[in-house]
Amino acid sequence: MDCEQVIRLLWTWLDRELEVEVSQEVEEHVRACLRCKEHADFERRLREIIQTCCKKDKAPAGLRARLLALLAESSHGGDALSGH
């Protein structure tokens, strides 16, 4: 499995909706590949934020889109998120 495949499967993987064998392949790759690990960490955090927001007060679609854009931005340029 290469990085491209892993990244394409990330959301499904985080949803735990992959077949066990595929899921294990993704997991092994993410463990070994820093780039995909960072990607996975980012996606996971993003999902947590969205889930928290949505649970709390049913975040409007606009807010969710803004949040996504914001996070996408910070994942490109700096490491605003990785610095904790």
Contacting residues toward Zn ion, per CB under 5 A = 3, 33, 36
State the nearest-atom distance from the C-beta of 63 to Zn ion, in Å.
31
Long-range contacts of 23-27 (CB under 8 A, 24+ apart): 25/1, 26/1
30/71 with CB nearer Zn ion? 30
2/21 with CB nearer Zn ion? 2
30/59 with CB nearer Zn ion? 30
Cα separation of 40 and 59, whole Å? 23
State the nearest-atom distance from the C-beta of 35 to Zn ion, in Å.
5
Identify which of 8, 42, 38, 41 has the alpha carbon closest to the alpha carbon of residue 25.
Answer: 8
State the nearest-atom distance from the C-beta of 59 to Zn ion, in Å.
31
Kindly state the DSSP code that residue 19 receives in the 8-state scheme: -
